[in-house]
Structure 1
Amino acid sequence: MMKLTFLGSGCWQGIPAPFGDDEISTKVEGDKSWLINDLSKCNELGFKEVDIVDIAAVSRDVWQSRLEKADVIMVGGGNTSYLIDQIRKSGLDNILPALLTTRVYVGVSAGSMVVAPNLREKEMQRLYEEPIIDDATNEGLGFVDFLVVPHMNSQYFPRAGELVNEVARGITTPLYAIDDQTAV
């Protein structure tokens, strides 16, 4: 059975600690202070060790052995389309279910979105104004049967609150719109 925790981006209640943690980095342009804040929270929670793994930059044998040492696999935010594309290209999608039988998955922002059955890229692109990778799949990992829309009422994504109801009307999959202090 998989152990999943979803985060908007600022909510850290309920994260198991002290454990070792691997943060899978994702493509994001500009200021990355949010990533530093997320990693600082791991330290504040007493995680014994934090390792950043870029599955797009190192070989599978390198990232897989590092993930196998972790108790928590935290998949960070960034471009959702890029993240799912790299998860599939790297082969992480094939081994993640087995890893999660003994580890906790923490999805932060885009990391919480990729575990859904689909990414609803066109709708989500309107909310987050991020580019879609042309050859990326619209299919999520399917670990859960609902969609997560993080960052409601966030100053960084001002249109999310305005457009989420419109997006929700056009889909049949259950949708959880959460702010940065909420976990599902």
Structure 2
Amino acid sequence: MKLLLTSGGITNATISDALVDLLGKPIAESTALCIPTALWGYPRDIPVSAPDLVDGRAWGGMTSLPWKSLGVLELTALPTIGAQQWMPWVRKADVLLVAGGETTYLCHWMRESGLADILHSLQDTVWVGVSAGSMVLTPRIGEDFVGWPSAKDDRALGLVDFSIFPHLDVFPENTLVEAERWAADIDGPAYALDDDSAIKVSGGQLEVVSEGQWKPLS
């Protein structure tokens, strides 16, 4: 897969240009599937709001881009419809847009649905994650970011060999000092990204694309 691992989504021209470069064609000629599953993982007093589901922070502007087509792939539903139904949707899509939310819940359903098993075969597909949608591909997310009560630990899929501390200086608790403390417990390389930064991975090459602030942590 080709990866665009963002903290806040497609928030500036530099990240947008990186997306188009990975696609190899204009957004208007590309087909997308959006995956909202991570939204459901947090304990809540109220349901996920409709604006968050459709065009809110969880998507970081991704679903409002002028895609040729935009479908929904809800991972919790996939075991009930069978791979013969959903797998062709995934293989035909140019890009998977993966919402933010609870990383360990998303990781669980990527495994349960079978999507995690086929990622290695999607060589030309672009994965664009926001926050949890990016962190799920890393080896570990750190205990600070585990919010699903049923999570066994902080391990994720490990498709890449680095971890991500998202939303640097976006929230009061997401300071660089906190990121450095967090990184001390992560066994491996890590990056802190603000919402104007992303990590682009293609052909085994890693590049940070940013109009904001970011820092390698180890």
State the TM-score, normalized to the length of structure 1: 0.82
Is 1:102 the equivalent of 2:124? yes
Seen in structure 2, the aligned counterparts of structure 1 residues 39 and 51 have a Cα distance that, compared at 3 Å, is farther
Residue 114 of structure 1: which of 136, 157, 165 is its match?
136
Q: Distance in 1 between matches of 2:189 and 2:50?
A: 31
Percent sequence identity is 31
Q: Tell whether 2:195 aligns with 1:175.
A: no
SS of 2:144's equivalent? helix
Q: Distance in 2 between matches of 1:90 and 1:41?
A: 23
Q: 1:123 aligns with which of 144, 166, 183?
A: 144
Offset of residue 165 of structure 1 = 1.7
Residue 31 of structure 1: how far off its partner (Å)? 3.8
Aligned residues of 1:55 and 1:63 also touching (Cα < 8 A): no
Shift of 1:180: 1.0
The CA deviation at 1:24 is 1.1
1:108-145 CA distance string (max 9 Å, x none): 1101001112333x2323xxxx234245x643222211
| Matched position secondary structure for 2:188 | coil
Give the drift of 1:98. 0.5
Aligned match of 1:159: 173
CA distance in structure 2 between the aligned counterparts of 1:23 and 1:134, rounded to whole angstroms = 23
| Alignment CA distance shift 1:92-1:105 (3 Å) | same
**Secondary structure of the residue that 2:174 maps to in structure 1?**
helix
Verify the 8 A CA contact 1:74 1:106 in the aligned structure 2. Answer: yes
1:133 is aligned to 150
Return the letter of the residue paired with 1:15.
L
One-letter amino acid of the structure 2 residue matched with residue 55 of structure 1: L
Matches of 2:50 and 2:179 in 1, distance apart? Answer: 25
- By how many angstroms is 1:42 displaced? 4.1
Counterpart-to-counterpart distance in 1, 2:182 and 2:62: 32
Of 60, 71, 74, 1:54 maps to 74
Q: State whether residues 36 and 99 of structure 2, in contact with CA within 8 Å, keep that contact through their aligned partners in structure 1.
A: yes
Structure 2: how far apart are the matches of 1:39 and 1:8? 9
Q: 1:15: which partner in 2?
A: 19
1:87 equivalenced with 2:110 (yes/no): yes
C-alpha deviation, 1:11, in angstroms: 3.3
Structure 1 contact 80–110 (Cα < 8 Å) conserved: yes
Match of 2:91 in 1: 68
Asked whether the 8 Å contact 2:141–2:164 carries over to 1, the reply is: no
SS at 1:145's partner residue?
coil
Alignment-mate amino acid for residue 165 of structure 1: E
Quick one: which amino acid aligns to residue 150 of structure 2? Answer: I
Residue 34 of structure 1 deviates from its aligned partner by: 4.5
TM-score, normalization by structure 2: 0.70
Higher strand share: 2
- Separation in structure 1 between the aligned mates of residue 10 and residue 61 of structure 2, nearest angstrom: 13
